[in-house]
Chains A and B, each alone.
Chain A
Amino acid sequence: MNRTLRSVAAGAAALTLLLTAACGSDDTGSGGDSGDPLRATIGLIGPKSGAAQFYWTELVRGIELAEPEIKERFGVTFDKVEGDDQGSPDVASRVIQTMLNQDEVDAVFGPSQSGPSLQVAETIQRTGRPWLVSIAAADEILDPDADPNWGFRTNNNNSDAIAVSGSYLWAEPGAKVGIFYGADAYGQSNRDMLAAYAEDNDKTVVHEEVIQPGATDVSSQVRKMRDAGVDSILVAVTTGADTAAVSKAMDQLGFEPDRFLVTATVLAGYTDLAQPREWENLAFIEPRDLTGDSFAGIAQRYEEEYGEKPTSAVAVYTTYTSAILYAQAVAAAKDAHDWEAVRQAMEDTPSLDVNGRVWEQPFGADDHDLYEDDPSSWYVIGFDPEGNLRTIGSAGS
């Protein structure tokens, strides 16, 4: 028995090694110098394996969904080079080098997460390649001082979201605002932004509580939040499950603040894990009208194409947006391989139309964020008792 096992294991080991050696490197991209100037080699990098795989899935699918439209409107086609950063910054750093220097991609889409993005940001900026930051939201990814700036973000950044959230949270004069934030990159960033916003606007954040990702019970934190007299709270955690932990504890303790604001991460599975009575008062703000035609249309096409609901419809939409933005610039520059021209064309984009939603002159030399922090262009969104999205109104009112 033991001997058989050992030989089987030896065989498996040998096979693994053999495959490793034999497969060789057969996945080099087609390179940046293919004949057709409108045929762009793009590099997609994200956590294909790891604990946040859906960000990879949505990145790939967001591009795939946009491809027919891109071909039709701009005559641009993509050759895709895939890179798995495994959610790890140092792996991302190596993958990006291969993409930039060996595959010579014409543009980089991703990494999907902030940590790997921060690790590679400077490398991409200095190497000089059109860079589409379509999902990661940490502000520091796009260095405002970079000149020229190669990065373009088609998601809102954290500070914009917080600026709008702030105006919502402090809408009532004398509102006592508190924040639950996750002990991760997203939570920390939101906490810092809210503190900065408060300082700029002469407000104070009355109370702060940390939520450990995956915590079973957060009643202690919720109790302290309630005891601090907070009546307007922001929950900035990464998963719907963590939001559910907070709302569950609020429900148990009968804590009903006037304003219960969460962030768009609530879309990932929250309503599956919470009870309708917990989300009656819950809202989040979004620069996209999630029930409007532009956004919902793409979510619907996603369902038709892949037979399931997107885990993060926002990531799909923002990636779709980035693909359109990039392809339009390629068409304008008339050559995907003239990276500087493409970059300039993106910066000079006269008008961007994403499935009916139109941005006029969205970028400038020192503005590479698609979304602005003007509350009137943002939406307040919540769930109905069935768990479907409902748009409550504009964040500006």
Chain B
Amino acid sequence: MAAVALPLARLRPWAFPLAVAVVALLAILYTTDGSGVRLSNSQQIGQICAFLVASVGLNLLVGRTGMHSFAQGAFLAIGAYTFVWTQLTWDAPFLVGMLLAALVPALAGVVIAVATTRMRGPQLAMVTLITAVVVYKVLAEWKPFGQFGGYPNTAAHGSSLIEPPSLFGWELQPPLFGGTPATALVPVIVIAALSLLLYRRVAGTGWGLSLSVIKQSELLAAHLGVNVYLRKVAVVSFAAGLAGLGGACYALVFAHLQPESFALMLGVNLIVMVILGGAGTVLGPVIGTAVIVYLQTAPSVAAFVRWENDTISDRWYLSAQGLIAFMMIAVLFAMPAGIVGSAQRLLRRRRPRRAAIAPWHGGEPAAHLVAVAHTSGESAELVVTDVGLAFGGVRAVDGVSITVAPGSIVAVIGPNGAGKSSVVNLISGVYAGQGGSMHLGGTPLRGLPAYRRARLGIARTFQTPILSPELTVVDNVLVGSEQTASMSCAGAVSATRAARRARERDLRDVAAALELVGLTEEAGRTADELSYGQQRLVELARALVSRPRLLVLDEPAAGLNPTEIAALALILERLRDQGLSVLLVEHHMDLVRRIADHVVCMIDGRVAAAADAHTVLSDPLVVSAYLGQGHVAVAGGQHA
């Protein structure tokens, strides 16, 4: 039994690529047979593949990064026209044409991404909408591209079809003429299959995971060391490049371009395809694209329209476009995650996903994690001297100094509004702040953006945990690893041995972190299935796998029950004992009393008292500040 199971298990990673290859091969065999009867279907398959390449790119934007772009159709158009242009004006080799068809839209994508960095939601939608409209207008009105006469057209180019390009001596014939094998579909289908595999690979890498983090919270992404700006530019450009490639495929399938095909509606359709199929899933765009392209001309839809006309009315009825839109609404209601996404959820509910991770077997996990941290740096002392922060005249932080020595836990306490969280935000780089200085292990922090500070070894958690609900616990923790921050788009695309080894190392760190916080059992569940307390622990684990030199925790005990708090205290003590520096903002005095080596009490933006826990907590000034605010937590007990 085991002998049989072993090779199967080894084949497992290959199951998906193998299935894709088989389907692609079948499609190629079907379409290149040359018989006229199959032409319509072949064309449909070709168009599905062309749109698929573009919608796979869009899936990275919509499904992963949460950027809703109407411009994908415009990038597809740019790619298609670029490709035809290379063929018409200088008869470029096929591969050069493809390359340019991807590059030109990718560059356009960079421009759009740079222009929209500060925009979100509706503003972003507006700009992409405008991009789609403008590109369409330019194609429709610009003389060299044949305007509405089509590109190419008989008047200017002598034929309304491009010459079949040749690849390795093969003529790539479009699926237009009976008796001529549609060889152009071979590269089209291969590119579609490759783009699907590419998406699957990229989505699983640190780079791909970082996109999900950006979707969830750009702030979090920055605190994991991700340069959000560059990464957004990269993903928009990458998606645009894929759209361009899809456009070149489109040109191969139809061999002629009419601007009407690339109006705003195409961009809308591509979004619909992604969401209908299931945004963020690998197979979603395949299903979405196939369903929509098929239904546009499906005989059954035509039959249904006739049925409507016969039985309901020959005026009040829906035709293909309306029916597809109606179905879209129905799917959004019935399957909120799209066809594939909802099916996956249903399956997972029946059969919970197994953790894609081997449990930790390596002794003290805290030792592993912090030892890793120590190899990367010398001293990790945080020295904050005399920093301030003002919001429009209100001084939230005023001349605060804090030092966190390696291997110690420093707690910052104080009544609500005392400026505790502001201090944390100053240290992690959310706010720039005014005056004073900040150093970590001697490196000045002032002026560095959050992602640079994260890369220097500052990891933090947030008052309310920020997790990606649809990702598993493992993935949510894995995003904390260094690769999320440092991997490049190119690194995500190419699979080097080094990258694989780095990933294995990261997974070991994740296993250690989960073991430490006691979530090994939950590794395979998605974040939205966890209790609140567990979610906080996932955040802590995520902070730990970044190999921090300084751990900053913003009210980690809030919302936890006494058992969970006790467990948390134990974890923090284990980490400190391994030499980690911990800065803790906390209301929960029991916890502070138990673990803090040093306590700083802030009142009205200033340090009111700083000493060991016992001294500070019995300081009359501190007591009155708490009582004066109506808080009675000094004596201990639950605090809201």
Residue numbers of A with Cβ under 8 A of B are 5-6, 9-10, 12-14, 16-17, 19-28, 48-50, 82, 84, 86-91, 93-95, 97-98, 100-102, 114-116, 118-119, 121-123, 126-127, 138-140, 143, 145, 183-185, 188-189
Contact = CB atoms under 8 A, between A and B. Distances in A.
A262 to B, nearest CB: 20
B244 to A, nearest CB: 18
Given A89-B258, A98-B297, A100-B36, 8 more contacts: A20-B304, A24-B303, A90-B261, A94-B47, A94-B297, A122-B255, A127-B36, A184-B140
A95 B330 contact: no
B254 A188 contact: no
B326 A16 contact: yes
A94 B295 CA distance: 12
B311 interface: no
B334 A10 contact: yes
B320 A20 contact: no
A93 B44 CA distance: 10
B334 A118 contact: no
Given A93-B43, A139-B155, A189 B260 contact: no
Contacts of A189: 148-149
B40 A101 contact: yes
Contacts of B519: none
A118 B153 contact: yes
A25 B140 CA distance: 36
Closest 3 CB pairs of A and B: A185-B148, A9-B333, A49-B319
A16 B319 contact: no
B178 A101 contact: yes
Interface in B55-99: none
Given A88-B260, A97-B39, A118-B256, A188 B304 contact: no
Contacts of B149: 118, 138, 140, 185, 188-189
A27 B302 contact: yes
A317 to B, nearest CB: 24
Contacts of A13: 327, 330-331, 333-335
A53 to B, nearest CB: 9
A5 B320 CA distance: 24
B182 to A, nearest CB: 11
B66 to A, nearest CB: 24
Given A86-B320, A122-B159, A189-B149, A127 B178 contact: yes
A143 B160 contact: yes
26 contacts: A9-B333, A10-B333, A16-B327, A19-B300, A25-B299, A25-B303, A26-B299, A48-B319, A84-B297, A84-B319, A86-B321, A89-B258, A89-B260, A90-B47, A94-B297, A114-B148, A115-B148, A115-B150, A116-B258, A122-B176, A140-B149, A140-B150, A140-B154, A143-B160, A188-B148, A189-B149
B277 to A, nearest CB: 14
Main secondary structure of the interface of A (DSSP, over half): helix
A362 B18 CA distance: 61
A127 B43 CA distance: 15
B528 interface: no
A94 B44 contact: yes
Contact of A6 (B256, B260, B303, B333): B333
A12 B299 CA distance: 20
B158, B260, B261, B333, most chain A CB atoms within 10 A? B260
Contacts of B36: 100-101, 127
A88 B320 CA distance: 13
Contacts of A102: 37, 40
B271 to A, nearest CB: 18
Contacts of A95: 40, 297
B303 A118 contact: no
B301 interface: yes
Contacts of B376: none
B333 A20 contact: no
Contacts of B302: 27, 82, 84
B151 to A, nearest CB: 10
Contact of B300 (A21, A183, A185): A21
B468 interface: no
B504 interface: no
Contact of A126 (B140, B176, B329): B176
B177 interface: yes
Contacts of B175: 97
A84 B298 CA distance: 11
B323 interface: yes
Contacts of A145: 154, 158
Contact of A119 (B40, B258, B334): B258
B442 to A, nearest CB: 58
B296 interface: yes
Nearest to B331: A13
A175 B256 CA distance: 40
A88, A94, A102, A184, most chain B CB atoms within 10 A? A94
A106 to B, nearest CB: 15
A49 B335 CA distance: 28
A115 B148 CA distance: 7
Contacts of A119: 150, 254, 256, 258
A12 B323 CA distance: 11
A296 to B, nearest CB: 27
Interface in B135-190: 137, 140-141, 147-150, 153-155, 158-161, 175-178
A6, A28, A89, most chain B CB atoms within 10 A? A89
Contacts of A20: 295, 298, 300-301, 304
A82 B320 CA distance: 14
A28 B319 CA distance: 19
